[in-house]
A and B are shown apart, each in its own frame.
Chain A
């Protein structure tokens, strides 16, 4: 971007280590990534179990669960920014049932969780589809054998369904972790990193540093840290989750 530049060795990385705002961005990003991954997996599994039957109503439900996934994150963010404002739909609905709402996008102790909820809402459909595919690949004779042995529903889930869902959990966890660490669109549309710097994520910080403050070198060093973070976490998570995958 600039015709001239100075070689400054690892100064940018040294500055990064001391940069409190970047540290905060890493914390926010990790918080989003961990909660989104856990909750989306949980809700995705629940919804997959709910719609893993034959019939038009279940097919329609699958479509409903998957619809948010095909929407652009920008559009999702825009829709939720209207829902989450102080006089938005959510607070009005809460008012009807006698509950006090809050300022979902301005309350600093809540706003990160508002963003997380929006991302979970969107990514849950992906988890549902992956879990559904995995569920349907489990041989039915295993359930028949369990029935003959006198297993109840919980025992069937614990000893057959859950262990055989491991490949699905691996895929969902890795994909969600990677996409959550890169989270940008929803944050920009909902809060643009605010109020103040409360919801600034690493990707947002990189874009602002590079294209607002014109500090491409410093932004690049942040991007390298993000790359390493995603790389290391992905390898660790895949290694750990692969260990618990089983075949009957």
Chain B
């Protein structure tokens, strides 16, 4: 369970670039909730995810994961609760290291890293089996450097790494935005499968309204650092893109300003 209570974040306070990115967001995710997050450019989607991940401390408010107050924990200490996939396929993996080494790093997330072997032969077999389920042909390239993989392969690998140890929450930050449509669809399918298989609590940012509607059991829309729409259950299943655009204009009094979102 994730509980975010009234968090605020302002970037560059007191300067000409001051930006009130989060303006009192409260959000509670129940176990196995799959929430999609949409919103225009600069609405605070990624900021919300980064606040949860602990990229920087929030100005005020409280963040709890499974009843544990993590507000004061830096990113690397929160990592044990969270699996993350980023927008840029380069961000989630270490290019200079082998596929199996990347997986081994992820398998040790949240544990102390001592002088035991960084990877054991038993693990290698396990990773091989796991990669087979992705059908990317990576199971025979375990010792290849990750830098040699395509963007889609790297995102799929990052997804596997994020869930290798079951996280309390899976945070997906537009993780298919940099991929071509076909690859994006494959990665989304893999996401759905992994989320379902492991019963993960998930927060997925997307700029694609259709994806936001098609995936998950709940949808929230952000604008100017606030949640302006929160739809779940049956109501979400009946939702259309037109509904969303209409609701956005109704609630915010502006036109939805994300070209990509409208076009897709």
Do A and B come together as binding partners?
A: no
Which B residues have a C-beta under 8 Å from some C-beta of A?
none
